[in-house]
C-alpha cells in the first residue's frame, strides 16, 4: 500500500490479535486462544444500531442499554506473538491471519472508512511512549495523506467482515446458552463494565453439543490447543527478556487453567 512499507520492526506483532472462528480452527495449533466479552453501556437516549455496531450484540441477560462485543483472542507471551521468530519474521507468514495480512488497515473498518483507521494507526505511531509504534510509514514530511488500498486488501477486508459476522453469531449464541448458569451469572454481574474472559474449552464443547463440529473435530481441536498452550508456557519459561512479571504471571495462570480444562475434555472424549 502507498505510504506504507514494512521494514520488519515487528512492533505490530507484540499484542494479542482478534481472529474469526474460521481462523481459530485453521490456527488451533499455532495460537493459544481465549474468548472475551466486553460490555459497553449506551447513553440514556442512545439506541442500539446493528448497522453501526456490527461487532456487538444485545443480550437478554442485560438491560437494553448494555451491548456486548465478543472476540476470539490469541495470547502472546506478554512480549510478542508466539509465531514471531527471534529474527522478527513470522513463522506462518504465508498463512497468517487476516488481521496481520491487512495491517495497517484496521479490521474494525469497512471499505468506506479505511482512511479513519489508517489515520488512527499513523497518529499512534508518532507517540514516542507507544511500544507498538510501527516504523513502516513513509508519508512525505510526516503528514497523513489519504490513500486507497489494493483490490486484494479490499477483498480481504470484505471477507473478514463476513467471517466476523459469522463469528459474532456463534459467540452470541454461546453467550446466551451460558448466561443462565449460576457460574456465568456471577461472572456477568461482576463484569458489566469490563471484559469477561472465557475458556476456549467451554466454547469447543458448546460447538460440539450444537453440532457445529463433530466428535473427531473436537478431539483434534482440543489436542492441538493443548499443544499451543504448552508451547506458550515453554516460550515464557525460557524468555530472559521478560520484565512484565505481574502480567506474565496472569498469562501463565490463564494458560495452566486452560490446559487443565482442555485435558478434562480429552479424558472424557471417546477414543
| 243 φ, ψ (degrees, to nearest 5) | -110, 0
pLDDT higher than 50, residue 240: no
Residues 6+ apart with CB under 8 A from 151: none
CA-wise closest residue to 105 among 150, 162, 140: 150
Assigned domain for 208 exists: no
pLDDT score, position 86: 87
How far apart CA 247 and CA 77 sit, in angstroms, is 9
Confidence tier at 28 by pLDDT (50, 70, 90): very high
User: For 62-88, how does the pLDDT look when each residue is reduced to its tens digit (9 = 90+)?
Assistant: 666 678 889 999 988 767 899 999 888
pLDDT band at 183 (very low <50, low <70, confident <90, very high): low
Between CA 114 and CA 201 the distance in angstroms is 35
pLDDT in tens, 97-130: 999 999 999 988 888 888 888 999 999 999 988 8
Judge whether residue 186 has pLDDT over 50: yes
Residue 191 lies in a domain: yes
- Concatenated DSSP letters of 61-84: TS-TTEEEEEEEEE---SSS-TTB
Q: Does residue 223 lie within any of the structural domains? A: no
Residues of the domain holding 171: 11-199
Report the number of distinct structural domains present in the chain. 1
> Is 269 within a domain?
no
Q: What is the pTM of this model?
A: 0.85
Amino acid at each position: 500500500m502507498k505510504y506504507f512499507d514494512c521494514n520488519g520492526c515487528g512492533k505490530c506483532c507484540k499484542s494479542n490479535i482478534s481472529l474469526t472462528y474460521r481462523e481459530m480452527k485453521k490456527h488451533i495449533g499455532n495460537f493459544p486462544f481465549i474468548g472475551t466479552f466486553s460490555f459497553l453501556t449506551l447513553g440514556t437516549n442512545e439506541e442500539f444500531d446493528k448497522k453501526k455496531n456490527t461487532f456487538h450484540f444485545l443480550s437478554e441477560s442485560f438491560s437494553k442499554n448494555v451491548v456486548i462485543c465478543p472476540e476470539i483472542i490469541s495470547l502472546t507471551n506478554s512480549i510478542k506473538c508466539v509465531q514471531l521468530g527471534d529474527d522478527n519474521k513470522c513463522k506462518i507468514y504465508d498463512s497468517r491471519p487476516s488481521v496481520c495480512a491487512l495491517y495497517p488497515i484496521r479490521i474494525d473498518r469497512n471499505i468506506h472508512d479505511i482512511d479513519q483507521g489508517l489515520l488512527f494507526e499513523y497518529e499512534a505511531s508518532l507517540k514516542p511512549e507507544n511500544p507498538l509504534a510501527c516504523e513502516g510509514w513513509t508519508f512525505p514530511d510526516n503528514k497523513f495523506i489519504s490513500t486507497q488500498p489494493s483490490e486484494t486488501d479490499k477483498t480481504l477486508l470484505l471477507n473478514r467482515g463476513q467471517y466476523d459476522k459469522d463469528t459474532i453469531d456463534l459467540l452470541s449464541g454461546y453467550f446466551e446458552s451460558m448466561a443462565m448458569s449460576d457460574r456465568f451469572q456471577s461472572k456477568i454481574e461482576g463484569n458489566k463494565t469490563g471484559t469477561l474472559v472465557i475458556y476456549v474449552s467451554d466454547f469447543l464443547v458448546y460447538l460440539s453439543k450444537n453440532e457445529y463440529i463433530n466428535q473427531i473435530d473436537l478431539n483434534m481441536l482440543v489436542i492441538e490447543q493443548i499443544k499451543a498452550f504448552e508451547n506458550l508456557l515453554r516460550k515464557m519459561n525460557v524468555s530472559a527478556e521478560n520484565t512484565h512479571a505481574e502480567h506474565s504471571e496472569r498469562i501463565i495462570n490463564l494458560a495452566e487453567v486452560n490446559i487443565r480444562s482442555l485435558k478434562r475434555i480429552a479424558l472424557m472424549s471417546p477414543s
